Structure 1
Amino acid sequence: MFGHLRFVAACAAVAGLVAVSATTATATATAAGNPRPATHHNPGLQQELEALVHEPGGPPGVIVTLKSHNALSVYRAGVADLATGRLPGQYDAMRIASVSKAYSGAVALTLAARGVLGLDDTIARWLPTLPAAWGRVTLRELLQHTSGLPDYSAEPAFHAVLIADPHHVFAPSQLLSFAAAQPLRFPPGTQYQYSNSDNIAVALMTAAATGRTYEQLLNALLYTRLGLYRTSLPKGYKMPPFYMHGYGVRDGVLKDVSTEYSASASWASGGIVSTPRELNTFIAAYAGPRLLPESVRQAQLTFIAGSSEPPGPGTNAAGLGIFSYSTRCGVVYGHTGNTSGYTQFTAASPDGTHSMTFSVNAQITPNSDQTLFDQMRKVEEDAVCALLSR
């Protein structure tokens, strides 16, 4: 996934942070669909979050939102901002990293449901200026990471531009050009390999098929439809007001890296900014039956062996723009993400009645700290169990 930039340093320890328990009450449900406060509280999950932020190398803060049948519980520990000591909140903006891939999946599958795109439409049909060798790759293969497209974010030329100017604004069409000289990694459809190039191509295909920008499609098909008023795909590096700050170690010093890179560097593959509350809303609709008709949903939920990056809890399998996580407590559908300063996991039950987000403000991967990553993944699975038991 995009946040997995090979040269980004691993995040480091923050000791002695304030760990604050919270099952945050929300407003009573209204006709607008605001969640009501949940009466169920899980002290064990709260203790696990507090332990996670106090681990050597642990993130400064963590927030978990569990929503069941329109009742919301919020658990949080540590801080959203080291400078002020402010707690993480459900309305805090944050970089959702490769969870953005689920949004490009939602746009593409919505267009497929409307007959604007076909899952077997090829790159050659909609993006004829891309390398001819890539032309036979289909939308279905892009969404399931079986395309064989080389990953532009692994290319030295891309890294060189980003290192020289981390705030460089890339044109969406420019991103795949970094990998254009590379052949397909394997014949399309023959194996699974996660690639950031896939969802860039998906978003470009949706724009080509509609004559509208991908950002316009996000707004029309997702933001407006689902009431996602704090969700956006920025071009630059700035964050909106009231955000969860992301942290990482740079030159041996813990720094705020929230605005380290331009979101355009990952665009549809990892650039979206949202909040825990709106992530809950999106994943419940996308993983459940609300957003897509059953015929398209059957294709979306046809899974093959393959894990998200970083891997989510339990056994992972890849669908179309979504992953299945088979945990000890049951199956949920969702996506993970990690980028400079943030690690994300969001999922929902197959019927969409239960949804969750799990967000930390540090980049935690198996490559950066396997022990801490394993602990985080255990807590993620325990959060899934808490969700499904409600």
Structure 2
Amino acid sequence: MEPSADPADRARPQALARWLFAVALLVVAMVVVGGITRLTESGLSITEWKPVTGALPPLNESQWKAEFEAYKQIGEYRQVTGPAGMTLADYKFIYFWEWFHRLLGRVIGLAFALPLAWFWVRRAIPAGYKPRLLALLALGGLQGAFGWFMVRSGINETSTDVSHFWLSIHLLTALFTLAGLIWTALDLRALDRDSAARPARMTGFAALTGAVLFVQLLLGAWVAGLDAGLASDTWPLMQGRLVPEYDSSRGFAWAALHDPFLIHFLHRWWAWVAVAFLIVLARRVRGIERRASIAIHSAFGIQILLGIATVLTAVELWIAVLHQFVGALVVAATVWGLHLLGRRA
């Protein structure tokens, strides 16, 4: 028999799902490396964006010195690391993390674009999924652009750090991409099991839960961007009181966007609003898929403990990195649960 010419017969939803799950794992790794880059103050160590040639680090001493000289021109070196006595060896350490972060971004781009092209040429993409996959590819491109805008916000003679607003856009785009990858992979896996399966829909409760979690992630990104984790090393009180003192001279709205003490406080306690929604989500999906319920409970439970530990240890590097890593797992588990509700709906 001749092979069927019908593209639907060539569709490989299970292979596509596995590919998207693999890319999602790379995005989680990217979030972790990004957290290390931020916590080691490495983000401004590379002052130029070279999409192709930048994939290679300096290869000799003269190139290292040139990169170090460029770094010496920005405010972070002049006001923070320079007066602290940074050496070339110190610079090489922070350079590595920023370079590795950018390299991993390039790897993710290739890991998505090349298989996408292969599946496209082979006509292995099921009907209706091409626009969604192209949207995920575009999100990856935006993620790289937002990362450079973030870095550029801190590269001048006066700034000592990047804009916490650009940092939040950069991080949340990564987490939104992660959510899109997992949701699409789950749709494809369902399609593989049943050729008549339709994509899961977003329910009202799912949208509300996503919005609550988004606020918590946004506050967490601002905490990272403003080093607001250092605003208190006690829990549950801050400065010996429930609500800390903060700069209210320009109003609550300004303080909620800029003041590290208030932002730390909001992140600390909005977490319990997110937990309440996640508990409801876990209970709703328990009868559909018990593993998803366990994953949701486990993720937010560990995340709460790591958040408290991060505060009590004055933002110990590896505890804070684990906190960001499990934050990505909370997103993944939540998407799994919301997708189950959307499929039943």
TM over 0.5: no
Higher helix share: 2
Q: Report the structure number with the largest CA radius of gyration.
A: 2
Q: TM-score, normalised by structure 1?
A: 0.26
Q: TM-score, normalised by structure 2?
A: 0.28
